[in-house]
A and B are shown apart, each in its own frame.
Chain A
């Protein structure tokens, strides 16, 4: 059914139609509307049977989900940013135990400096935790990915994180086609756990594993992710047949087949990039874009196939590894091993800075001329940075950089005019 609806509410309603049995809730912006809506649905009796548990921290949220999943219940939670880091130990634990928990990650920057707005630093921080990480481009895809996420998680017994851009998607009201309960029930069978705590058939889960078998257990986790690479595509196809629209899959290609310059990105910024690709194409530039939906498992082969005809690849990413550069672009470069295709990293949109069409236009023109540097920070205010570097050089006690920069900027607002 078509609805004009906030992204968070759409996700909550779709998650509810997936019949989660335990939902753990801890507030953190910009994820909060999702669990608020689920709480209302449970309290009103519209989502039943379901235990909605207000926990005391994100660490507890993931821990409650671990216990619930190990005891055979379909478990869901949602978080963002600092919350994800606070539950990090349990995130790895859920991955290591192979528990099919589904979590929404409303992507948000990580402090310090504290910042509630969108980027992908949080998702990148748990890249290696053994979770599948799917990135939604739109609210429609965010909603749809959750249905596929439960199916994938439970088939393979591994946790799945659906990443959607904080505020840009979570707080945007737009048209979303929400599936009916019957449609979801037909696509998503009841949860049949691979491992379960049960007094009738007592097993130990979470035993200590030493050097004699640790590598093998970890390899099984890797194998499951490799299986997910196949199943993600299958499930997207099956989804398209059942629901009549394309959502999910490993990568999305847009006008990239004959492109000289191919842009690669994750999440909602793909929409803006597509607009700029269209206008650039109108001016004769041979440019296209490949959106990566499945960041973990990383679709090396699919991406290589999509990029191997390009002359250059530009990775626009909302995160970076401090002291090195791109995170996504490292993986992209790995998928192009042996091919003479330069990969440039563009760090953009950190802490919610808008990625404008104008900036992308200039960026792509620079790339098209073959003049893009290996690492670029989009719209970096170089003067602001240089003045603080100067203060640092001049005085041993120059004080906190964030505050100095804000004072220099002369405003506490975003300053984006």
Chain B
């Protein structure tokens, strides 16, 4: 097996598009890309979800030679992309409800199959609320039937469209409008929440992967890989939300990268329920570096950036360390 050579730019660790041969460059660098989600939409400045959706859908469009339809759950992505005259979809696109996107996608796939249009593929997409909470029943059904749908979760870890309320994907200690930073245990409680990629894997569907908007090559490769399978596939993309996370719009990619470098968000691929690849952490960062950039964790630090609640920061570090151990994200299993 040949291992692809990976190039990294100093500092950011991002893959330098200019350093790879033309054919290996990203879909986004191709002027003739679909621009599935094109300009004119109403997403906030620095929106990770808008980035993630455009990256993922353009990659899927290339992988399917444009033979694709998308189904969208209610949420930020649906709301900011469709109001007339700012509708931004340049692909066949259907929105039905908040909690039913996986089932609607199943219906679309069934219609295409019965019509003999086997070349046309289906992508379903939702935010974390539409995936791990209200859409979970439909998603689990779609998974267990192994319907021919790639479902993408754009995870910004709370209900952002309605004003930043906690979801089943909100991390511990994070401030949301329904987990305020008051009382002895400020923010979202520890010991709750769903590991959605693991739940997807438990369905033993053909392909599960995680990605972030920080590594475009990796994200696109996973979309492309997903499209080589038939049956139910799941891609979980971490998409920082400047508004909901209380972060600078210019830090979206940086924060997404730190989520992986701290071990809080593992990058992995699984096939038929088994992890087949993980992305090793090249330069491990302490979780405090990730937390400090975000207003939703501001209550954990004092004015100088020192932990005001070292106990909570340590507990979050322990979560990251556990994830690192579980998926073998650092070769020696240690910390810097």
Contacts and interface: CB of A to CB of B under 8 A. Distances in A.
A91 B138 CA distance: 16
A67 B92 contact: no
Given A64-B103, A197-B92, A199-B120, A57 B82 contact: no
A352 B114 CA distance: 39
Contacts of B113: 51
A90 interface: yes
Interface in B72-112: 72, 78-79, 82-84, 87, 89-97, 99-100, 103-112
A21 B114 contact: yes
B66 interface: yes
A198 interface: yes
Interface in A60-108: 60, 63-73, 75, 89-90, 93, 97
Interface of A: 21-22, 24, 49-51, 53-57, 59-60, 63-73, 75, 89-90, 93, 97, 197-199, 201-210, 213
Contact of A22 (B87, B94, B97, B107): B107
Contacts of A51: 110-111, 113-114
A69 to B, nearest CB: 7
B140 interface: yes
Given A63-B138, A207-B83, A68 B111 contact: yes
B92 A202 contact: yes
Nearest to B34: A202
A190 to B, nearest CB: 11
A384 to B, nearest CB: 40
Given A56-B141, A60-B137, A49 B114 contact: yes
A210 B83 contact: yes
Contacts of B84: 207, 209, 213
Nearest to B68: A199
Contacts of A205: 93-95
A64 B106 CA distance: 6
Interface in B98-142: 99-100, 103-116, 120, 137-138, 140-141
Nearest to B79: A208
A73 B94 contact: no
B204 to A, nearest CB: 17
Contacts of A55: 103, 106, 141
A70 B122 CA distance: 13
Nearest to A50: B114
A73 B115 contact: yes
List the 4 shortest-distance A-B pairs measured between CB atoms, nearest first: A67-B107, A206-B95, A56-B141, A71-B111
A204 B111 contact: no
Nearest to A201: B92
Most buried by B among A50, A63, A73: A63
B265 to A, nearest CB: 29
A56 B79 CA distance: 27
B213 to A, nearest CB: 24
B110 A204 contact: no
Contacts of B282: none
Contacts of A56: 137-138, 140-141, 144
B138 A73 contact: no
B71 interface: yes
Contacts of B110: 22, 51, 53, 64, 67-68, 73
B122 to A, nearest CB: 8
A67 B67 contact: no
Contacts of B100: 59-60, 63, 66, 89-90
Nearest to A64: B107
A97 B111 CA distance: 17
A204 B68 contact: no
Nearest to A48: B114
B309 interface: no
Contacts of A72: 111, 115
Given A198-B69, A199-B92, A205-B94, 18 more contacts: A53-B107, A60-B106, A63-B100, A63-B104, A63-B107, A67-B94, A67-B104, A67-B107, A70-B108, A70-B111, A73-B107, A199-B69, A202-B89, A202-B91, A206-B82, A207-B83, A209-B84, A213-B84
Nearest to B147: A53
A71 B109 CA distance: 8
B145 A68 contact: no
A213 B105 CA distance: 27
B252 to A, nearest CB: 24
A65 B108 CA distance: 9
A300 to B, nearest CB: 32
B67 to A, nearest CB: 5
Given A57-B137, A63-B138, A67-B71, A73 B114 contact: yes
Contacts of A66: 96, 100, 104, 107
Contacts of A209: 83-84
B69 A63 contact: no
Contacts of A213: 84
Contacts of A59: 99-100, 103, 137-138
A75 B106 CA distance: 13
A25 to B, nearest CB: 12
A206 B103 CA distance: 15
Contacts of A75: 107, 111
A87 to B, nearest CB: 9
A49 B111 CA distance: 10
Contacts of A203: 92-93
A202 B87 CA distance: 13
A209 B82 CA distance: 8
A406 to B, nearest CB: 33
B124 to A, nearest CB: 9
Given A22-B107, A22-B111, A67 B90 contact: no
A202 B140 contact: no
A53 B100 CA distance: 15
Most buried by A among B100, B105, B116: B100
A67 B114 contact: no
Contacts of B92: 197-199, 201-203
A206 B94 contact: yes
B137 A71 contact: no
Most buried by A among B66, B68, B107: B107
Nearest to B107: A67
Given A21-B111, A67-B103, A70-B94, A53 B120 contact: no
26 contacts: A21-B111, A22-B107, A54-B145, A56-B144, A57-B138, A59-B137, A63-B104, A64-B107, A66-B100, A68-B108, A70-B94, A70-B108, A71-B107, A73-B107, A73-B115, A89-B99, A93-B96, A197-B108, A199-B67, A202-B90, A203-B93, A206-B78, A206-B94, A206-B95, A207-B87, A213-B84
